[in-house]
Structure 1
Amino acid sequence: MIRIGLISDTHIPHRLAALPPAVFEKLAGVDLILHAGDVDDLKVLAQLGRIAPTLGVRGNVHFQALAPNDRALPLALPLEVHGHRLLLTHGHLSLWHSLTDKRYGIQSLLGWRLDDGTVNRRLIRRLARAFPQAEIIIFGHSHQPCVERVDHQLFVNPGAVCPTPWASPSVGILRLAPDQVEVEILPLDR
């Protein structure tokens, strides 16, 4: 069985100065790390690479020119591991989608409604349409952890490393064997 560390939305140095020590503790011993975007500084991938080989995709922050190096990363990355078709993406897929997704986050921050997983549901619908061939889709963007099966696809959002008002920081572990898939979300504050 292979253990894959899942991480997203590190936002270093714009929201955090550095990766919290808990990231290294929770991801110790994994065989591979997948970063689902909003890396902001590519040095983060090198730091994670000291734990295990690390792959990443671009996030939506590059649209605001906060993370010009993010543009060096692919928008989506298909992988095959133990016969499972994985797709790694941030989830926004375009500037338009990124802006409409942010609207829901702003409404939550203003207290107009509680964040009830609306953004993750929107992302899952979008990603299912865009990548119907993928068996497991790993995404970020909402800063909210999520593990949800829809038809033949498993959607996994490890949450964000940077803290938000609506979710605690977290990472994930994906365990894969040819006939087995297990996902665990690990809070960083415990």
Structure 2
Amino acid sequence: MREATDIGGRTARVGVVCDTHVGDVLPSLPDEVCAALAGVDLIIHAGDVTSRGVIDRLEAIAPVVAVRGNHDRLLDDLPEDVVVTVAGVRIGVTHGRRNRAAEVCSVFAGLVIGRPVTLGLARALRRRVGRVDCLVFGHYHLPFHQRVGGTDVVSPGALYVIDADPTAVFSGLRALAFRRFRSGLPAEARVPAIGILHIEDRRIRLQRIPLSGPLRSGSASATPYRMPSTPGK
């Protein structure tokens, strides 16, 4: 487990970004993201960065701690998991992808009930990262907050949300299955978002920040969407 540089003090604001997919489906990091993160002490990226330029741009705002997602094939120098201590709070970061058997079971269960299944997810991720006060993850493209064994397991949701992309084109059985997989999600999960962790006297509060949309993919013309093989895009 990689340990990142500690940030001291009693209070801190930590930006949380997940699943940007820049260069994959989004052409660039939206200006709204940088504006919302202005003034934070640290930025966490929970994977599927997909472009080194995203980290470079975020580093112009604050120091960045990032992990590798399943779409970060060109960023293999990023760690899979990392722990950073901020204002006395240990924060674990992982993308959120589980072993193949768990992913396949989650997909099939999600197809049956019409939404991603996260049963057991928080405990599995906590076992992976170890004892931390807060655990940040991405991959599933939906907001999440569950307290497990003294750990707040959180995700603000994804920056790129296919439901909010008017240029995305669905075709074929796999695409229809993916639409079924997300059909039961609440409205808030269909909106691009980032988050800010507010830390004061070791208390943690996640502020979810929905972004004005829609966040479009590369061009105004319809762009075929490459279906993921696992629950996260």
What TM-score, normalized by structure 2, do the two folds share? 0.69
Q: Are the aligned partners of 1:90 and 1:141 in contact in 2 as well (CA < 8 Å)?
A: yes
Following superposition of structure 1 onto structure 2, how do residues 111-150 of structure 1 map, counting pairs within 5 Å?
112-115=112-115, 118-119=117-118, 121-150=119-148
Identity of aligned residues (%): 33
Distance 2:124 2:22 in 1: 27
Q: Is the 8 A contact 1:92 1:123 kept in 2?
A: no
Letter in 2 for 1:84: V
AA at the equivalent of 2:59:
G
Greater C-alpha Rg: 2
Determine the C-alpha separation between the residues in 2 that align with 1:174 and 1:105. 31
Instruction: Give CA-to-partner distance per residue, 1:23-42, whole Å, 9 cap, x none.
Output: 11211111110000000111
Provide the residue aligned with 1:168 in structure 2. 191
User: Where does residue 150 of structure 2 map in the other structure?
Assistant: 152
1:187 aligns with 2:210: yes
Amino acid in structure 2 at the alignment position of 1:126: A
1:144–1:104 CA distance, 2 compared to 1 (3 A): farther
Q: Residues 2 and 177 of structure 1 are in contact (CA less than 8 Å); yes or no, is this contact kept in structure 2?
A: yes
Matched with 2:78 is 73
Contact 1:92 1:98 (C-alpha < 8 Å) held by counterparts: no
Query: Runs of 4+ in structure 1 displaced over 6 angstroms?
Result: none
Residue type of the alignment partner of 2:28: A
Q: Distance in 1 between matches of 2:74 and 2:109?
A: 25
Q: 1:56 to 1:102 in 2, by over 3 A?
A: farther
The answer on whether the counterparts of 2:133 and 2:152 sit within 8 Å (CA) in structure 1 is yes
Amino acid at match of 2:68: R
Question: Aligned AA for 1:51?
Answer: I
Distance verdict in 2 for CA 1:135–1:188, change over 3 Å? same
2: distance between equivalents of 1:118 and 1:55? Answer: 28
Aligned-CA RMSD value: 2.2
Number of residue pairs matched by the alignment: 178
1:168–1:44 distance in 2 versus 1, CA, 3 Å: same
**Distance in 1 (alpha carbons) for counterparts of 2:153 and 2:95:** 12
Alignment map for 1:91-130 (pairs within 5 Å): 91-94=96-99, 96=100, 99-100=103-104, 103=107, 107=111, 112-115=112-115, 118-119=117-118, 121-130=119-128
What does residue 10 of structure 1 align with?
A: 20
Q: Do residues 38 (structure 1) and 48 (structure 2) align?
A: yes
1:158–1:185 CA contact under 8 A, matched in 2: yes
CA contact (8 A) 2:109 2:117 kept: no
Asked if 2 retains the 8 angstrom alpha-carbon contact of 1:60 and 1:98, the reply is no
Distance apart, 1:22 and its partner CA: 1.3
Partner residue of 1:26? 36
What is the distance in 2 between the residues matched to 1:9 and 1:98?
Answer: 20
Give deviations 1:58-83, integer Å, cap 9, x for gaps: 0012xxxxx42221100000111122
**1:104 to 1:186, Cα distance in 2 relative to 1, 3 A:** farther
Q: In the alignment, which of 83, 88, 93 is matched to residue 83 of structure 1?
A: 88
Cα distance in 2 for partners of 1:40, 1:141 equals 13
Describe the shift of the 1:40–1:145 C-alpha distance in structure 2 as closer, same or farther (beyond 3 A).
same
